Amino acid sequence: MPAGSAILHFGSIASWTAPGDRHILDLASRMRGRGDVLVSYDPNVRPRLLADPDSGRAAVEPGVRLAHIAKASEEDLAWLYPDRTLPEVARLWLRLGATVVIVTGGANGADVFLGTDPALHRPAPAVTVADTVGAGDAFTAGLLASLSWHGLQSPALLGRCHAGDLADVVDDAITVAALACERPGADPPTFAEFASRRPRQAGLPGR
């Protein structure tokens, strides 16, 4: 981990597949323990590689325990927890240790769960979809970048937020993901492309 790093994001197949998973979880644990690094996690569930929901939950939940931000799609959670509603799963993940849980729903936008606050829903813009490959990663990139732009990349500051404080941040993430869906392949937008489509121009860094 480079000295001075403010954010660590981990997830996907490497985070729940031996033997590399233990090294990734060890790094996430050390960064979470430091207290000054924001830890983000997206399990990016692949049912064919996880065999069944029981083994999937056993693989994914250790990452949730180490993350300040835990993000997953509706499809991920429906497969992992077939007997629970999405809000129930989000509250479970908060109890496991996440500060914020974000559930993405594609064209339906995203929902934010934080502490005891009511869930915050943010809609997605209407776009012509060419390819959804990479949309989840684009969402996470937009989310973490926007948290930095808003000065919320500190675990302590994020912990003092209410769900409504993250509305603009999640809107930015949705915009980045929507732009990625408009073209084939995992091809996220440039900063200029994002800025031209952002609903609000205030608060953007200079480029």
In a domain, 202, yes or no: no
In a domain, 205, yes or no: no
* Beta carbons within 8 Å of 84's beta carbon, 6+ residues apart: 77, 92
SS3 130: coil
Residue carrying the six token digits 């941040």: 169
Closest CA to 51 of 79, 75, 73, 71: 79
Q: How do the pLDDT tens digits run along the chain, 207 residues long?
A: 888 899 999 999 999 999 999 999 999 999 999 999 999 999 999 998 998 999 999 999 999 999 999 999 999 999 999 999 999 999 999 999 999 999 999 999 999 999 888 899 999 988 888 988 889 999 999 999 999 999 999 999 999 999 889 999 999 999 999 999 999 988 889 988 998 888 665 556 654
What's the DSSP call for residue 91?
Answer: H
* Residue 116 pLDDT: 81
Sheet holding 110-114, edge to edge: 7-11, 38-42, 69-73, 100-104, 110-114, 120-122
In a domain, 2, yes or no: no
Closest CA to 186 of 144, 130, 146: 130
**N-terminal to C-terminal alpha carbon distance within the chain:** 26
In a domain, 127, yes or no: yes
- The enclosing domain of 159 has a CATH number of 3.40.1190.20
Tokens of 111: 């929902």
* Residue 110 pLDDT: 97
Q: Give the range of the structural domain holding residue 92, as residue numbers without chain letter.
A: 7-197
| 132 neighbors 106 (Cβ within 8 angstroms) | yes
Which string of DSSP letters, residue by residue, matches 80-119? H-TTS-HHHHHHHHHHHT-SEEEEE-GGG-EEEEETTSPP
* Residue 160 pLDDT: 93
In a domain, 207, yes or no: no
What total number of domains does the chain contain? 1
What's the DSSP call for residue 168?
Answer: H
In a domain, 130, yes or no: yes
What's the DSSP call for residue 116?
Answer: T
* Residue 200 pLDDT: 66
Rounded CA separation 88/15 (Å):
24
In a domain, 188, yes or no: yes
In a domain, 40, yes or no: yes
* Residue 185 pLDDT: 86
* Residue 207 pLDDT: 47
